[in-house]
Structure 1
Amino acid sequence: MKKNYIKTLAITGLTILAMSSLAGCAGKTAETKASDTATTAGSKTDTTAAESTTAKGAASGDLKGSISMVGSTSMEKFATALSEVFMEKNPSVTVQAEFVGSGAGIEAVGNGSADIGNSSRNLKDEEKAKGINENIVAIDGIAVVTDTKNTVGNLTKDQLISVYGGTVNNWKDLGGSDQPIVVIGRESGSGTRTAFEELLKLEDKCKYSNELDSTGAVMAKVASTPGSIGYVSLDVLDDTVKTFKLENTEPTPENIKAGSYFLSRPFVMATKGEISAQNDMVKALFDFIYSDEGKELVKSVGLIPAN
């Protein structure tokens, strides 16, 4: 009887011990699983974060390659500043700019030899018909300049038309000295010339003494020629020449924006097709131009933002 009692106690003890051991193992297993789950979750979070960072880097992405711009000499100052800033922001991108005139720029983008055609005039209907898109990036004023010794300081629109149309040939007829007027302009195909003649309704009617192939050449010729008159982009003005008021209005960005200065024209960066159809580098360039920072760049070179 005693032996059976002891045997029963032993079996009961072993059963309790086994149950305790199993409970302990079960508890440990649950803790381990919880810990493993937390570790796995943490690992997944780290991986997701890393993948997110990688994706973000790819999205904002290091652009790589080159952009070619061809066209207007009047846009040289703006295009050069734009290229420098954009390349600084995108070290793996090269922006190559060639300044050979608006007509040549539009032709280059039309035949695919350039990504962007810079034009200092609006596109013609026949150019748009070829699938070339007019992207206006800034507004420029055309300044009328003379040599620094000229005593005439203001011209009316009619007087300017008379000078370039060839019906007034001496400064004395405009209140100045008895001195022949030397009429200087740009070459055929120049965006500045096209815009100037269209604004004065003198297309193919101007009587030029000299037709020069760049804005810089016009500035130099006017500065060195007594009695001369020429037209240039607003952003190249300096003290080597005298700038006329037109209708008693200075050629300033403020006056152009207000509409009180009548000689102004668009700066166009033309593309073959819409901007959205261009490669990532070109799209990024236009994104920058139309951004707040881009607008400040436009202002810094003496132009007016397009929007």
Structure 2
Amino acid sequence: MTGKHKGVAKFVADQNENIYISGCPCHLVHIAAQKAAQKIPIKFEDLLVDIYYYLDKSSKRNLVLKICQLMCEIKTHKILKHVSTRWLSLGKCLERLLEQWDALKMFFEQEYEIEKKKKGKTKKKQLFINPSESFFMAACDYIIKKLPVNDPRALLHHAEVVDVKVRSNQKFCSVEYFIDKLSMALVSDTASDKNSMKDQLEVQFAHYQIENLSPDITDTERIDITWNMIAKIKGTDGKPKYSELSKLMLGILVIPHSNADSERIFSQVRKNRTETRPNLSVSTLSSLMVVKTYMTSTDKKCYEHTYTPKQLKSAKSATYQALQN
């Protein structure tokens, strides 16, 4: 897909030389974790299984672990069992392992001191205690190699301009970079061409850098909410003070940084258009996807939604017609 010579990326780049192509960060981080895990002398799956069975049948060990949990002020949760045939259990088991890490470390340190004279029974306990610098070094080496983190010409470098907490350290050249990339979508009624828009943005950016923004704006959890609040700041003339600048920053924020959403849609399509439903029309499939995406975004189940009488009547009518046909 992202091949430089014959991939889709090369075809798209030939059509638009200004396009920015980068590998999906989610996939890159996943691969980095895989490569880093190879540096650890024990497999995570084996570690989870060994810890579970080491504690499973011993009430004494569970009692000692509970004491360690209380001493570390950690919730007294049990260690989950990982089943290799249910690969989704791996994530939950690892989360529980990390949650109980301090207590488990204290527990195995005590066990190691007790059983260190027994040969062949402390190897994995020792591996559990030893630091994993090689894991982090391998992960960082791969990420630095694959992601353009040090390329001053890269989009990721210039995108730091949206961070309001470091606005005094940013330069207008980063704004100019996105003016060239997004100018067609940013020209408004008050900016008749690119030059006038650049002049307005330069003035607004200079004022923004010295603006004393309130903590209510800078301390928000989401950067898009921050820029929505900045867009509402008005000048002495009663008009929005950062109208063009906020539009540019929000335009930067909508640049896709991963293809996870697209692949999630592909997965949903495969789950709905199955071998038992091969004749499902595109319009029906599209409607199903819209409804399911909406339900996912609102975090509500289908039976929790309320429907208008008109919607219910339309649904009943469509069902009746389908049965008649």
Length-normalised TM-score, structure 2: 0.18
* Greater Rg over alpha carbons, structure: 1
Length-normalised TM-score, structure 1: 0.19
Q: Which structure carries more strand by proportion?
A: 1
Q: Which structure carries more helix by proportion?
A: 2
